[in-house]
Chain A
C-alpha cells in the first residue's frame, strides 16, 4: 500500500514539476548565457572579413579566376575613391555574412523556438529558427537571409553550448567586407555558422563562419570573435543610414553629399546629367 502510494506521490511530483516549469522554463536552464552587448573583438580599423589577415588582396579569398578579376577591379575603383562595389555606401544593408563582423553592437536573445540576433549595423534583425522546422521550398531573398539553427551540447554536460546555423536565400548585392570581395550574382551562397563561448574566456564569443558560394573555388572559413561590452545595462544606439551623409547614384555614377552639396567621389568625375532641368539647358 505504501509502495503504491509512493509511486502515486512521485508521479504527482513529476506532474507538479512539469506544471510549474513548463517547456519554456525547463529549457531555459539548458541554454548558454549570451545576454548583454557584444562587439567585435578584432579592432582593425579596416575591418577585414578574415580578422587574421590584412585587408584587401591579402585576404586571399579562394575566388574563382572570374571573381578574382571582379575583386581586383573593385579594388582599383576603391583606389580612386569610388565605392561602387560596396552597396552599404548607398544605405543598402551590409547583409549576411558581413553583418556578423559586428562592427556595431550586437545582442543575442535566445528563446526556445528562435534565437534573435540584433545588430546595430544596418538595423539588422536575424531570426534563427530552432523549432525543428524543415527548409521551405522557396523564400524571398533578404539581406539577413533565412536561417535555421540547431543547439548542440558539444561537451555533453547536459547544457547546450553551441548554436549551429545555416543561412540561405541571401539577397545581393553584397560583399564580405569594404574591400569588395564579391559573392556570385546567382544569390546561391549558403553560410554555416558555429557560435559558442571561448572555452578559456567566457567573455569571448566565437563564430566560425563557412561560406559556400559559386564565386569561390572551395568553402571559405573564418572565425569572428566578439567580446562582451557595456556592462549590465549597455547603451544601445540607432544607426539610421539615411540620416547621415550618403552616396547617391545618378545614372551610372555615384556621388557623395557633403554640406548639402553634391561632391565627386573621384578625381575628374564628370558632373551628373541634369538634362531634365530647364535652367541647366539655358
Chain B
C-alpha cells in the first residue's frame, strides 16, 4: 500500500515537473543576459572589424554603387556628410545597428527574442514562433526578423540563433563611411548569433548581407563582450536632443551655439522664406 502511494507521489511530482512545458523550455536557451558591447571594432567602427574603415573595407559593390561610395567618401573628405543619413537622426538601421556602438541587451522568450540597442533606441523583435513571412511588410529601419534556435553542438540545449531580416527601410549604410545599400530596399540580412565556445562572456554574430548593390553576399564576423556588472547602467540615446543638423528642403544647415541658423558651406543659400510676410 505504502509502495503504491509512493509511486503515485513520484508520478504526480514528475508530471508536475514535466508538464510545465513553457518552464522546461526556458532551461534550453543560452544565458545571454546582461549588457553587451562591441568587441574589436577599431577606429571609426568599420562594418568589417577585420579591415580598415572606408575604402579599406573592400566592400564587394557593383561598379555603380562603388562609384556612389567613392563620391560619398570625397564628400566626407571635403567636410560633407556623404551618404550616411544618421547625422539627421535617421536611425542607422539593420544591419549597421548590430555593430553595437552603444550597449545592447538580449531578452529571450520562447516566441520572440528581443534585441534592445541603445543606439537610436532600436528595438528588434526576432520572431521564433515558427511563423511564415507575411505577404506585405511595412519597411522599417530595424526590419522584420524571423529566427530559429539551433542546437549546433547537439548537447540538448539551444546555442545558436539564426535570424533572417527583410523589409529594411532606407536610406542606410553599413557604417559611417557610407558604404551604400541598393535603393530597391530588398536587402536581406542573415545572422548566426552564438556564444564563444571558450568564453561565455563573448558573443559572436556572423552577418551576411545579400543586396542588389553587391556582386556577391558579404559576410562579416562581429563580436560583443558582456559587461561584468550585476546591475549594468543603461542610458538613453535621444539623437534629437543635441542634434544641430537641420535639413530644410534639400539643403543641410546647422544651428549655431547662439541658436541661429548657419550655413554648412561657403556661399550656401539661405532657406526659402516665402511663407513669411
Contacts and interface: CB of A to CB of B under 8 A. Distances in A.
Interface of A: 2, 6, 9-10, 13-14, 16-17, 20-22, 24-26, 28-29, 90-93, 109, 111, 113, 116, 118, 122-125, 127, 129, 131, 133, 136, 139-140, 142-144, 171, 233, 235-238, 240-243, 248-252, 257-258, 260-264, 268-280
Contact of B27 (A25, A235, A252, A275): A25
B238 A248 contact: no
Interface in B28-69: 33
B224 interface: no
Given A28-B23, A279-B269, A279-B270, A252 B259 contact: yes
5 contacts: A241-B240, A243-B90, A250-B261, A251-B260, A262-B275
Nearest to B122: A123
Contacts of B235: 140, 142
Interface centre among B6, B22, B275 (most CB of A within 10 A): B275
Contacts of B135: none
B75 to A, nearest CB: 21
Contacts of B260: 250-251, 272-276
B256 A92 contact: no
Interface string B1-28: 0110010011001101110101110110
Nearest to A27: B23
B78 interface: no
Contacts of B274: 261
Contacts of A129: 231
A122 B239 CA distance: 11
Given A238-B142, A242-B88, A276-B260, A28 B22 contact: yes
B157 to A, nearest CB: 12
Interface of B: 2-3, 6, 9-10, 13-14, 16-18, 20, 22-24, 26-27, 33, 88-91, 107, 109, 114, 116, 120-123, 125, 127, 129, 131, 138, 140-142, 169, 231, 233-236, 238-241, 243, 246, 248-250, 255-256, 258-263, 267-277
Interface centre among B2, B23, B88, B131 (most CB of A within 10 A): B23
A272 B129 CA distance: 53
Nearest to B169: A238
Contact of B261 (A17, A111, A235, A274): A274
Contacts of B273: 262, 271-272, 274
A277 B233 CA distance: 44
Given A25-B23, A28-B22, A92-B241, A260 B16 contact: no
B238 A143 contact: yes
A127 B255 contact: no
A93 B238 contact: yes
Contacts of B121: 122-125
Contact of A6 (B6, B13, B23, B116): B6
A213 B22 CA distance: 42
Contacts of A26: 20, 23
Contacts of B6: 6, 9
A66 to B, nearest CB: 26
Given A109-B109, A261-B271, A262-B275, A10 B249 contact: no
Contact of B90 (A122, A237, A240): A240
Contacts of B140: 237-238
6 smallest A-B Cβ distances: which pairs? A25-B23, A91-B240, A260-B249, A242-B89, A123-B121, A277-B270
Contact of A280 (B14, B131, B142, B270): B270
A12 B246 CA distance: 68
Contact of B107 (A28, A116, A133, A263): A116
Contact of A123 (B17, B123, B246, B255): B123
A133 B231 contact: yes
Nearest to A25: B23
Contacts of A263: 275
A28 B108 CA distance: 13
Contacts of A14: 13
A237 B121 CA distance: 14
Given A20-B24, A29-B20, A143-B238, A250 B255 contact: yes
Contacts of A269: 276
B17 A16 contact: yes
A22 B28 CA distance: 11
Nearest to B239: A242
A94 to B, nearest CB: 11
Contacts of A240: 90-91, 141
